[in-house]
Amino acid sequence: MSYPAFFAEIPVIRLRDPLAVFLGASDDGIFEYRYLDAIRLAGHSCPTVAAAWNMTRLALQVLYPDELPCRGNIRVNLRGGVEAGVTGVIGSVVSLLTGAAAQGGFKGLAGQFGRQNLMHFAAEIPLELRFSRLDSVLAVDVACDAGSIPVAPEMPLLMRQCLEGRGDAAALQRFGSLWQARVRCLLLEHGDDPQVFTVRPATTARQDLA
């Protein structure tokens, strides 16, 4: 697979998954996810996929400051409804990384390792996403505002031409290059920019813990 070189520069997300150890899929349960994994899941790279990836990375840093994040030990609430805008795409990327799933998720084994109903949509939360540890009251709210990431002036016209079948191979290549340049800017130049990514520690009431 050929892909933009900057994909390899995007920070890897490392987690441990106890279920993988229990079922013999891994000796230590440590998984390393790369941005390409999210692209393979979504089938494309765009600011939405990139934002979901980076919001998850930032949230995990807050929830697990001194240890590897535990996949399957995280509840995720999304403010948007599952069919609203790009919420479903965001949820898919977040689910890949955290293991949290909605009604169709893994039900677990003898009350352990469950992933079902750890992801909830249309939640009443202040920001775009809330990540909560199941084993503590630690939680974090995150959001992304990519409005300040510049769009190349020629990109809208190129997109329209290509979608309407009026763009040649050079136009299509140029459009794709500009599109991914914006993704690169979001992840590598603004990945830790508080003006783009809001990260706000929160708490989860113990009675809400699964």
Predicted local confidence at residue 207, as pLDDT: 40
The answer to whether residue 203 is domain-embedded is: yes
Predicted local confidence at residue 54, as pLDDT: 98
Residues 67 and 171 in one domain: no
The answer to whether residue 68 is domain-embedded is: yes
The answer to whether residue 176 is domain-embedded is: yes
Per-residue pLDDT of 25-64, as tens digits, reads 999 999 999 999 999 999 999 999 999 999 999 999 999 9
pTM of the model: 0.94
Average pLDDT over residues 187-197: 97
The answer to whether residue 1 is domain-embedded is: no
Cα 43 to Cα 64: distance, rounded to the nearest angstrom: 29
Predicted local confidence at residue 63, as pLDDT: 97
Residues 29 and 122 in one domain: yes
Residues 139 and 185 in one domain: no
Residue 119 is classified by DSSP as: E
Q: Give the model's confidence band at 209: pLDDT under 50 very low, under 70 low, under 90 confident, else very high.
A: very low
Residues 58 and 156 in one domain: no
The answer to whether residue 100 is domain-embedded is: yes
The answer to whether residue 2 is domain-embedded is: no
Residues 46 and 130 in one domain: yes
The answer to whether residue 204 is domain-embedded is: yes
Predicted local confidence at residue 113, as pLDDT: 87
Predicted local confidence at residue 203, as pLDDT: 77
The answer to whether residue 117 is domain-embedded is: yes
152 pLDDT higher than 80: yes
- Going through the chain in order, the beta strands assigned E by DSSP cover 13-16, 30-33, 74-78, 119-120, 129-133, 138-144, 197-203
Per-residue pLDDT of 129-149, as tens digits, reads 999 999 999 999 999 999 999
Residues 99 and 171 in one domain: no
Q: Rounded to the nearest 5°, which phi and psi values hold at 130? A: -130, 125
Predicted local confidence at residue 125, as pLDDT: 96
Predicted local confidence at residue 205, as pLDDT: 54
72 pLDDT higher than 80: yes
Please tell me the total count of domains within the chain.
2
Identify the weakest region by mean pLDDT among 128-132, 160-164, 196-200. 160-164
66 pLDDT higher than 60: yes
Residues 30 and 58 in one domain: yes
Structural domain of residue 65, as residue ranges? 7-146+195-208
Q: Give the model's confidence band at 80: pLDDT under 50 very low, under 70 low, under 90 confident, else very high.
A: very high
Residues 137 and 110 in one domain: yes
Average pLDDT over residues 177-202: 97
Residues 47 and 115 in one domain: yes
Predicted local confidence at residue 144, as pLDDT: 98
* Mean model confidence pLDDT for the chain: 93
Residues 24 and 62 in one domain: yes
What CATH number is given to the structural domain containing 81? 3.30.1330
Residues 115 and 182 in one domain: no
Q: Rounded to the nearest 5°, which phi and psi values hold at 20? A: -65, -40
Cα 199 to Cα 131: distance, rounded to the nearest angstrom: 11
Residues 87 and 179 in one domain: no
Predicted local confidence at residue 31, as pLDDT: 97
